Amino acid sequence: MPISCCRKVQPKEFFVTELSKTRSNWFTHFVKQLFPAPFQFTLVVAFSLVAALSIGVGAWAISRTIDQYLVTSMTDRVSRDMRLAQAFYADHLKWIEETTRRLSEDATWLAFVQDDSTHEELAASDVQAYLSSQMRGLFDQGNHTVVIVDLSGIVKAGYLLEAGNLSVLDRDLRYSFALPIVQKAIQERELCSGTEILPEEALLSVHLAEKARIPLLDTPRAAPQPYDPREGSAGLALVAVAPLQQKGQVLGAVVVFHLINNDFTLVDRIKTVAGVDTVTIFLGDQRVSTNVLTEQGQRAIGTRLSAEVGETVLYKGEPFVGPAFVVNQNYITRYDPIYDHQGKIVGILYVGANQERFLRLLTAFNRQVAVIAFVSIIVTFGLAIPVSGYITRPLGELRKLVQTSQRVSAGDLSARAPVAVGGEVGLVARSFNTMLDTLQNTQDKLIQSEKLASLGQLAAGVAHELNNPLATILLYADILRREATLNPQHQDDLETIINETLRCKQIVSGLLNFARQTQVNAQPTALNDLIQEWIAIEKRHARYDNIRFNLELDESLPLAELDAAQLREVLLNLIHNAADAMPNGGKITIRTAAKPPGMITIEVQDEGKGIPPEHLNKLFTPFFTTKPVGKGTGLGLAIIYGIVKMHRGQISVKSEVGCGTTFTISLPITLNLNQAQRGEEGLIGG
């Protein structure tokens, strides 16, 4: 029967999951390689967050500061522009005043208001020549109208000056030009000027009503109703009126006015000469002369003011400064009210800077600040990695320190922490190693003390058991030597027995001294005096014939509590060993010093052959000696060690082969006898 084999097809989701795991493992491996220490990753993240926060706040503060600065600068600019525009506006009105005054002082115009036909003789060419000479400064500044009225305000003559040409306006006696400003000038017999609203009737009298008519256009954000109901049909003009007088009698008046409606010479001149972006003159809240453009690129004539600005300027009589919606976009603006000769608000003078250009500048600046901030954060992150690595590098030594402590806790006292860095971590590692050295030294001393205690017990038992037989042997050998008659050979053998027995007795005596539980009989002692006394006696022995003693004793050494007899044994034992190390003679130096605080120090230094390094750790072990057989028992330094310990002191040795050896003993100045006896009880006894 055939066997069919089927292979299970893995679903697509399985491969997607495996791919995600692979990417995740790769990313985890990358992060671990980049940040081998967890604390380094935390440090980098912390640095980056702090830097990002600081840079972000700084960038925001800089952006806000520059924003405020630019807004203030733009506000200051439009305020400056307004001052320039007002200066041009006032200068133009003054020019009209001066022209009106000159015309009123000329008797030529009296013919128009007298009851004769003299004025009929004035040809149009003559009037044009005359006006050209009198009003030559106004020809290049838009359209200006000269109107002659009688005392009733009836128009007697009218002339329009535009682009250097003079045209005669057909007067219509049905209409009166008796404006309030005209009546005031006639009544007060003085020149009056101002910005005035010319009603449609007055404009009809000089056939300018059609030129002044501007339809109201729907404008976003404008008020529901116009500020002045005459908007759209009335005209706004800069007007000057001067009375015509003859022999003190007022016969009429000369009226000169510049109709602003649909005339752009003044606003364009302000824009060009003063460098202002946009200028507008309003009649009420309607634009009658402007260089603000609509979306179709046409002048925004007939559009209206936003209700917000109108409320401030027209109704409250206050300037408006700041961003405002103008026709179809935002501007940094300033609006100032325009007053007529009676102090009533009749319109507005506006200057503005396109906010779009300002916003583009601000956006570009903010974009640059954002890019700089982003780059700064990236650079900070990049720098934080090596810096944090340098900072956290000692933490690797801490991990090694932990590993070392684990080895020590497992019983390996030979383990030492590597000291590869400085600073606090290096100090901790060195202190840890010092602690281990002290611990190992203490353990070695404890082991040695245990050995000494065991050996002391053994030595005490052996000494007690051997002492009596040796005494018996020595007694009978001595009796035999005295009473028996022996031949010379036997006599020499008997002397050998006695000498060897005495040597055994000496060894047993040393064992007893080593094992004896001796108490410290401490008294205040002048150590320098005792050393001088002991050396004076000791150097008389023949073994010191080739030895020079050098005493370097500290005169400030205080009295110390110690057992003089035991310390004498210590010092003489060290001197004997030093002399044995210099068979050909040499110098032994003995020093004392009052240091460290609360302690005194004794040093015994020789110039002998030195001790090999491998023997230094065995020097205080009982029965260890480097001397030939028969020259020592190996108990001298062990006894010294026990005496020093009973005095709560320390003994150390430094030696270099070929250069000599130095033993250093440190003893406390004040000794607690009970503590010393209890502490050392059983240390070398048994």
Structural domain includes residue 279: yes
Which tokens go with 540?
Answer: 């008389």
Identify whether residues 463 and 352 lie together within a single domain.
no
Which region among 80-89, 214-223, 512-521 has the lowest average model confidence (pLDDT)?
A: 512-521
CATH number where 515 lies? 3.30.565.10
Dihedral angle sign, alpha carbons of residues 397, 401, 406, 408: positive
Give burial (CB, 10 Å; 0-12/13-18/19+) of 65.
exposed
Compute the distance between CA of residue 263 and CA of residue 273 in angstroms, rounded to an integer: 17
Compute the distance between CA of residue 52 and CA of residue 44 in angstroms, rounded to an integer: 12
φ and ψ of 652, to 5 deg: -140, 165
How far is residue 322 from each of residues 291, 364, 429, measured CA to CA in Å?
19, 21, 68
φ and ψ of 531, to 5 deg: -65, -45
How far is residue 358 from each of residues 190, 332, 364, measured CA to CA in Å?
48, 9, 10
Identify whether residues 131 and 270 lie together within a single domain.
yes
Three-state SS string over 312-332 comes to: HHHHCCCCEEEEEEECCEEEE
% of the chain beyond a pLDDT of 70 = 78
Higher local confidence (pLDDT), 445 or 598: 598
Structural domain includes residue 193: yes
Reported confidence tier of residue 71, pLDDT bands at 50, 70, 90: confident
Structural domain includes residue 151: yes
Name the residue range of residue 467's domain. 448-680
Compute the distance between CA of residue 54 and CA of residue 47 in angstroms, rounded to an integer: 10
User: Of 281, 339, 288, 345, whose CA–CA distance to 315 is shortest?
Assistant: 345
In the chain, how many domains are there?
2
* Mean predicted confidence (pLDDT) in 447-451: 69
Which tokens go with 140?
Answer: 């290049």
* Mean predicted confidence (pLDDT) in 633-651: 82
CB under 8 A, 24+ apart: contacts of 214-218: 214/261, 214/262, 214/286, 214/288, 214/301, 214/302, 215/302, 216/286, 216/302, 216/304, 217/302, 217/303, 217/304
Reported confidence tier of residue 538, pLDDT bands at 50, 70, 90: confident
* Other Cβ atoms within 10 Å of 137 Cβ, number: 11
What is the pLDDT, as a whole number, of residue 383? 75
Structural domain includes residue 340: yes
Amino acid at 160: L
Please check the confidence at residue 14 and state whether its pLDDT lies above 70. no
Structural domain includes residue 44: no
- N residues, the chain: 686
φ and ψ of 370, to 5 deg: -65, -40
What is the pLDDT, as a whole number, of residue 37? 58
Identify whether residues 352 and 473 lie together within a single domain.
no
Cis peptide before 596 (omega within 30 of 0): yes
Structural domain includes residue 634: yes
Reported confidence tier of residue 349, pLDDT bands at 50, 70, 90: very high
* Other Cβ atoms within 10 Å of 513 Cβ, number: 17
Out of 326, 360, 394, a domain closes at 360
Identify whether residues 339 and 465 lie together within a single domain.
no
What pLDDT, in 10s, does the model give residues 115-135? Answer: 555 555 455 556 656 666 666
* Mean predicted confidence (pLDDT) in 333-346: 95
Please check the confidence at residue 343 and state whether its pLDDT lies above 90. yes
Dihedral angle sign, alpha carbons of residues 469, 470, 475, 477: positive
Structural domain includes residue 433: no
φ and ψ of 560, to 5 deg: -125, 145
What is the pLDDT, as a whole number, of residue 97? 93
Residue 355 near residue 331, CB atoms below 8 Å: yes
Please check the confidence at residue 472 and state whether its pLDDT lies above 90. no
Query: Residue 224: helix, strand or coil by DSSP?
Result: coil
* Mean predicted confidence (pLDDT) in 370-398: 75
Compute the distance between CA of residue 652 and CA of residue 584 in angstroms, rounded to an integer: 26
Summary mean pLDDT of the chain: 80
Out of 321, 343, 360, a domain closes at 360
Out of 336, 360, 384, a domain closes at 360
CATH number where 209 lies? 3.30.450.20
How far is residue 71 from each of residues 64, 85, 332, 353, measured CA to CA in Å?
10, 20, 8, 11
φ and ψ of 292, to 5 deg: -75, 135
What pLDDT, in 10s, does the model give residues 279-294? Answer: 999 999 999 999 988 8
What pTM value is reported for the model?
A: 0.52
Structural domain includes residue 60: no
Residue 112 near residue 127, CB atoms below 8 Å: no
User: Residues 225, 227, 232, CA angle at the centre, nearest 5°?
Assistant: 85
Please name the residues in contact with 160: beta carbons below 8 A apart, sequence gap of 6 or more: 143, 144, 145, 166, 167, 168, 169, 206, 208
Residue 644 near residue 624, CB atoms below 8 Å: no
% of the chain beyond a pLDDT of 90 = 28
Please name the residues in contact with 187: beta carbons below 8 A apart, sequence gap of 6 or more: none
